[in-house]
Structure 1
Amino acid sequence: MGLFNFRQSLAIDLGTANTIIIKDGKVVLDEPSVVSFDVRSNQILAIGKQANEMYEKGNANIRTVRPLHDGVIADFNAAEQMIRGMIKMISKKRSWFSSALKIVVCIPSGSTEVEIRAVRDSSEHAGGRDVYLIHEPMAAAIGIGIDVLAPEGNMIVDIGGGTTEIAVISLGGIVKDQSIRVAGDVFTQDIVDHMRSTHGVKVGERMAEQIKINVGSVLQDLPNPPEEYAIWGADMKDTLPQRINVTYQEIALCLEKSIQKIEAAILKTLEETPPALYADIVENGVNLIGGGALLRGLAERLTARFEIPFKVAEDPLHAVAKGTGIALNHTDTFKFLIR
């Protein structure tokens, strides 16, 4: 009976781009949210990094799936298989997890009831007995050390892979929030479209992601600019290889419309924020987290635009996961968790 009473607890940041699992306060898994199947047998071939290496490179017998799009589950079966497989990856004693697994999973603040149910059902089918959900901005605030229960306004801008979450938090709740589906994946597509229209070459998502990492910027004048990034692409006219040197200035230009949409969402949130909380935000500044927070010049641009200090949080890629891990230890006291 001792084995069946053994209780394991996991915190899962189920992201569009990456899934992070925390156990006992430590990151035990950080893998791309990708799963590959054998088309003939529908059996799993790979999960996470191995599956991501197959993405856009598979043959007719391999189907590689990103189960989440725009921050929510798009392929229920693939998501369930991915979560189950990732749990197995960190468990040497598989049977322990199947008996009494407690899970806290973060979700976008703008999730619908259908989307929330999809996350809950996938987690339960993957072995979760007690499943709690937490909104991403709340998890992010907890993860960077903000006292979310205090009577004080704090603002989070979380630019992830599928969504940008903007929220004002006070007294253990989200006062005002915006969730828009303009984030890392849209930036990547912007770069794909730019390379096609400006240079006449075809590049895939993986290459566009590398461009974003190496020369991604939202300003055309940086004090410490990155060097040009050289890529090879297929010329759209004759499919011959073409070498392109990509600059940060042209990436800033091609991301402009998407960044303006994020600025508009921030402005709308600030406009709807109660005056007392607005004053707190001006004093405390705005915290930027998520992979999009690493775009060069973003904090400087937003600070100049809104005349409020914007700052990139320490370890912005793991802030949500860390906060979810802390929430895992406070399921009895954090009343804002969703059952």
Structure 2
Amino acid sequence: MWFWSMGTDIGIDLGTATVLVYLKDKGVVLKEPSVVAIDRSKNKILAVGEEARQMIGRTPGNIVAVRPLRDGVISDYDMTEKMLRYFIRKGCAKRKISAPNVMVCIPSQATEVEKKAVIDATKNSGAKKVYLIEEPLAAAIGAGLDISEPNGFMVVDIGGGTADIAVMSLGGTVVRKSLKVAGDKFDEAIIRHIRNKYKLMIGERTAENLKINIGSACKGLRDLSMPIKGRNLITGLPDTIEITSEEIREALLEPVSLIAESVHAVLEKTPPELAADIMDQGILLTGGGGLLFGLDKYIESATGIKVKVAEDSVECVVKGTGKSLKLLNKIEFDGDMEVSLVEKCN
């Protein structure tokens, strides 16, 4: 049995691809892939996090590496609970503590059922009081924006499972949109393109390496190439081909354009005064998916508004999630705090 120390506040970015844990006065203490490796024959967890991620696509039949979150929400409740308990314990370094406040970020258009699943999983992992905060709001706080002011801010947070777009002012969200097109869909688009064009099957890790190392959202910004290995679908044998940045751009055109169109749609619904503020201050791009090379330029060309990629883009959400525990009186939570939500769902 282990406990949290009195007064410890914890922020958790429960992401589809990565889980980050933030401790009050410590900062970000853990960042690991949200993957669990299970021995199905014994119904036993073998590894969690980075160790489990290394097993993806490399395990025997009885061992499977699963991602318990899909498209920004919990798809496997039991695995999520166990994974969360493991990460919190590891992040806290097994210090003896009790009864913390925990703030967990969620997609901006999560349903009541999805919210309750997050709350229940977090409470069953040891938390006493749980709060929820929308990802764009957390990202804005983590990036250092003063969202309590009567000014309009626009944040585009692109994670592994969802892209969340929001216009905020006076501590609340004015216009929001969440779409299940983000880093995972980028990888799937690359896999599909290479399979269709070259009849070569590659894995998720290879697609992610292509995206990071030579990927681009804009034509002409990057001129790189990279050899990749996979299974030839015609011969059934291992094969190697060379892929260029331009081919990755073509593969990513559909998901990238969907995100840009959604940003445009949110701007169309934004009140004129706030739209003027956004024109002056620009759009803030956060999240791991937002680091796709040239994505800021693509959205900028689609909207005519300057786009800035946040510093520590990957950690913005978890930092804001942790810091927001100090701002409960300044932030509008839309009834997503634990007590009202549990009463509503029960």
**TM-score interval for Structure 1 and Structure 2 normalised by the shorter chain:** over 0.9
Cα deviation code 1:111-166 (max 9, x no counterpart): 00010001001000111111011000000000111111110000001111000000
Q: How does 1:88-103 map to 2 (within 5 A)?
A: 88-93=89-94, 96=97, 99-103=98-102
Contact 2:8 2:24 in 1 (8 A): no
- 8 A Cα contact 2:5 2:96, kept in partner: no
3-state SS of paired residue (2:54): helix
Structure-2 separation of matches of 1:140 and 1:5 = 27
Matched, 1:32 2:29: no
Contact 1:214 1:226 in 2 (8 A): no
Residue 326 in structure 1 maps to residue 323 in structure 2: yes
Distance 2:308 2:129 in 1: 36
Map of 1:219 onto structure 2: 218
CA distance in 2, matches of 1:12, 1:4: 15
Aligned residue in 1 for 2:82: 81
Structure 2 residue aligned with 1:46: 47
Q: Aligned residue for 1:177? A: 176
Root mean square deviation of aligned Cα: 1.6
Q: What SS class does the counterpart of residue 65 from structure 2 fall into?
A: strand
Give CA-to-partner distance per residue, 1:45-103, whole Å, 9 cap, x none.
1110011111121112212210110000011011001000111212343652xx31321
Aligned-partner Cα distance in 1 for 2:200–2:193: 9
Task: Look up the match of 2:12.
Answer: 12
Please list every run of at least 4 consecutive aligned residues from structure 1 whose deviation after the TM superposition is greater than 3 angstroms: 91-95, 331-335
Aligned to 2:151: 152
Letter in 2 for 1:166: I
Choose from 226, 231, 250 the match for 2:228.
Answer: 231
When residues 318 and 173 of structure 1 are mapped into structure 2, their CA distance, relative to the original with a 3 A threshold, is same
Query: Mind listing any 5+ residue stretches in structure 1 that lack a counterpart?
Result: none
Post-superposition offset of 1:266 = 0.8
- Is residue 165–residue 178 contact of structure 1 (8 Å, CA) maintained in 2? yes
When the two structures are aligned, how many residues end up with a matched partner?
Answer: 333
Q: Which moved more, 1:87-96 or 1:122-131?
A: 87-96
Q: Which runs of 5+ in 2 are unaligned?
A: 338-346
Q: 1:118-197 to 2 correspondence within 5 Å?
A: 118-197=117-196
Contact 1:104 1:131 in 2 (8 A): yes
CA change 1:4–1:65 in 2 (3 A) is: closer
TM-aligned CA deviation for residue 241 of structure 1: 2.2
- 1:199 counterpart residue number: 198
Distance in structure 2 (CA, Å) of the matches to 1:8 and 1:150: 28
CA contact (8 A) 1:108 1:163 kept: yes
C-alpha contact (below 8 Å) 2:82/2:125 kept by paired residues: yes
The corresponding residue for 2:273 is 276
Task: Output the CA distance in 1 between the equivalents of 2:205 and 2:285.
Answer: 24
Q: Indicate the SS of the match to 2:164.
A: strand
TM-score normalized by the length of structure 2: 0.93
Q: Secondary structure at the match of 2:224?
A: coil
Matched with 1:244 is 241
Shift of 1:40: 2.3
**SS of aligned partner of 1:41:** coil
Q: How big is the shift at 1:15? A: 0.4
Q: Tell me if structure 1 keeps the 8 A contact 2:187–2:204.
A: yes
